[in-house]
Amino acid sequence: MKLFKTTLAVAVLAAAGATIAHPGGGMMNHQPGERIIKTLNLDATRAAQVTAIMTEAQSQRRAVFESMKGQRGDPAAREAVHTQMKAIGEGTKAKLAQVLTADELAKLKEARKGMRHHGPHGFEGKKPA
């Protein structure tokens, strides 16, 4: 459960545009949609559309995060946040599906799958030697 809370907190902070210390040093501060644009090598028009979609999702997530202040210990509030975040994610996927091709969505899904294997200790959660 602690890992879930930590993962959720990092995801919410990242989605809210927070600057997060990266384990390898340096800071992560990405423009909304930047990784998608780079991964798919999108043209300027579609890059602007993706940026708008991801910026909107970021704003929605930030609002949910702000509404959670003072209620972090309340299980019902956490469940409500989880439900809201899931709805924002589904809405974002639907909007991206209107801009990206099926091949691009598949490539994006594959790229995201690869990112999930990176745990707090590096690739596949293994501690570095």
In a domain? residue 22? no
Residue (of 55, 38, 50, 58) closest to 111 by Cα position: 38
Q: At what angle do helices 44-67 and 75-99 cross, to 10 degrees?
A: 170
In a domain? residue 107? yes
* pLDDT tens figures, 71-83: 777 888 888 889 9
Query: Residues 50, 64: contact at Cβ < 8 Å?
Result: no
Measure the CA–CA gap between 4 and 10, rounded to whole angstroms.
10
Lowest mean pLDDT among 4-13, 24-33, 53-62: 4-13
How large is the average pLDDT for residues 31-53?
93
In a domain? residue 12? no
Burial class (CB in 10 A: 0-12, 13-18, 19+), 5: exposed
Measure the CA–CA gap between 76 and 81, rounded to whole angstroms.
9
In a domain? residue 3? no
Assigned token pair, 1: 């459960």
In a domain? residue 113? yes
In a domain? residue 106? yes
* Predicted pLDDT at 116: 63
Q: What is the model's pTM?
A: 0.65
Residue 114's pLDDT band, with cuts at 50, 70 and 90, is confident
Q: Which amino acid is at 72?
A: R
Query: Cβ contacts of residue 4 below 8 Å, gap of 6+?
Result: none
Question: Which structural domain, as residue segments, surrounds residue 96?
Answer: 29-118
* Predicted pLDDT at 8: 45
In a domain? residue 128? no
In a domain? residue 17? no
Q: Work out how many domains the chain is built from and give that number.
A: 1
